[in-house]
Structure 1
């Protein structure tokens, strides 16, 4: 008996369903086109062909976005589930579990926190090789080049598994020699303030306001750099005071290479999160590494300030 046209899964319909899932996630044909590396017209044509073959409308335009119709809403979970199962099946044929576990991490966190600790994971799990990918960009999980990301944000990563790793605070730090010259906030006006780009609310203006002396900023001499890790290198060399995050300076404070001259501390708007694909074929290794990271983060207790 001839199969119903609606139920037959042709190659063109499978391609259209993939485009439909991406467009539904973005609620935008142009955003779907950017992700799929095709033109917006190609996305529109694929959706139009799919709608014609199914005999119903899947999207309706509302303002600048494309919203699902009732039929589109009903179809979407089945399409997403089917594509996920198909991807898992293909990965079973060519599993990506061989090779290093690829970790995307912010360069500052890699250099100042993760790298000095990573030998402990290697010692506990010699069968799991780790490859760090320091990057300021959000990890792209779609190509299979990244297994796990450590991101500094608000924990909003659609379609990805996410859990909080650790929070931090921000406060001034300087070399021990320079700390001896800072008996009060007033004396900040006599030393260079090494300033990195403001991110997540961490700035000298916000910290001085929290400390009750916002007017001091106009009297301070600032030295601006493009990276927070570079700012730490400068203050380690005794070249000023910088505002840094507690996670990045915990080891330097503990070793006595830096001092924390003042008590007030800002709470940044962002926190560190672990992010990965929920259908990754390497979930066992990801879980082992995440659990180890949580243990390391749990032992992070930076020394208190002098004042």
Structure 2
């Protein structure tokens, strides 16, 4: 009989989150741990159960037949545990739920959250990394960082920051890129085009649109995954300044070429103006504005 030990219970929680996102990296963002920690928890759980729970399919982690069979029981069990805890604990509004793009959460927000925790120990944050727009009507999201035009009817909205887009790669690879023609000899790691950020548009800006036909592109589903690949020296990607500022400052990435695109969208803070948590939302927004201050364009 397999007993439900503390380590196995922890692994089951990680399993449920990873199954929901179909991604170890997105699960790591929600759980506020590293991707390696998520992978290790899943491996330990699989070893203790004697079966595989996930299989890789491109950039996604999909459930195996055994994982699909286990998931509904895990979700039901965790829900029952939560209900039991809620009966014991005093009523509280719970964590402040922030919806954010996975790439921005992983590369910009998460490394800064410890400062918010120090400044506001009474406010617990729960990140909701997702490519989808937050559904404020469902009452499960308190604040969203959206990448768009700032036009959100019936919602309160404040400008947060803008960014630019340019190629980045590892320092070792940058030494092989003496001219734009050298891009034809390395993989172009390509995330989905959004807000006009694409290799076609960047090469047109650089005056070499015909070069794209000679280049080999490797497509991934998420900008953060693209950065993981170029950090490992596997090619060049077109990334946004907000996501790579720290990596460039630390010397882990380089900018091999000067031209930079100005995306069509900017980052905005969005929330319901009738939210019952306006005081906490205001504190969080003020902190986010301070963190983004160095990235705001000149007035």
- Same topology, TM > 0.5: yes
Matched, 1:286 2:281: yes
> Does structure 1 retain, via aligned residues, the 8 Å contact 2:102–2:131?
yes
Q: Distance in 2 between matches of 1:131 and 1:191?
A: 39
Query: Matched residues in 1 for 2:265 and 2:126: separation?
Result: 25
What is the 5 A alignment of 1:20-169?
Answer: 98-169=93-164
Is 2:221 the counterpart of 1:226?
Answer: yes
In structure 1, the residue corresponding to 2:139 is in which secondary structure? coil
2:130 and 2:201 mapped to 1: Cα distance? 27
1:213: which partner in 2?
Answer: 208
Q: Deviations over 1:194-228 (max 9, x none)?
A: 11111111100000000011111111111111211
Q: Distance in 2 between matches of 1:277 and 1:97?
A: 19
Aligned to 2:183: 188
Measured in 1, the distance between the counterparts of 2:138 and 2:210 equals: 50
* Whole-Å separation in 2 of the counterparts to 1:232 and 1:290: 27
Work out the CA distance in 2 between the residues paired with 1:239 and 1:144: 41
Tell me by how many angstroms 1:97 deviates: 6.2
Shift >2 Å, 4+ stretches: none
1:55-82, Cα deviation, whole Å (9 max, x unpaired)? xxxxxxxxxxxxxxxxxxxxxxxxxxxx
The match for 2:254 is: 259
Structure 1, unaligned stretches of length 5 or more?
1-95, 302-307
TM-score, L = length of structure 1: 0.65
SS in 2 for 1:103: strand
**For 1:129 and 1:167, how far apart are their aligned partners in 2?**
27
Structure 1 position 230, deviation (Å): 1.1
1:172-183 pair list within 5 angstroms: 172-183=167-178
217-226 vs 103-112, which deviates more? 217-226
Equivalent residue number for residue 48 of structure 1:
none
Task: Could you tell me which runs of 5 or more consecutive residues in structure 2 were left unpaired when the two chains were aligned.
Answer: 1-90
Written as runs of structure 1 = structure 2, the 5 A alignment for 1:243-254 is: 243-254=238-249
Tell me the alpha carbon deviations over residues 34-69 of structure 1, each in whole angstroms, 9 at most, x when there is no partner.
xxxxxxxxxxxxxxxxxxxxxxxxxxxxxxxxxxxx
Give the greater-gyration-radius structure (CA): 1
User: TM-score scaled to structure 2, two decimals?
Assistant: 0.67
- Superposition deviation, residue 135 in structure 1: 1.1
1:272 aligns with 267
Instruction: State the SS of the aligned residue for 1:294.
Output: helix
SS of structure 1 residue aligned to 2:273: coil
Count residues in correspondence.
206
Q: Distance in 2 between matches of 1:149 and 1:214?
A: 36
1:34 corresponds to which residue? none
Looking at structure 2, the residues matched to 220 and 144 of structure 1 have their Cα atoms a distance apart, in angstroms, of: 46
**Contact 1:163-1:274 at 8 Å conserved across structures:** yes
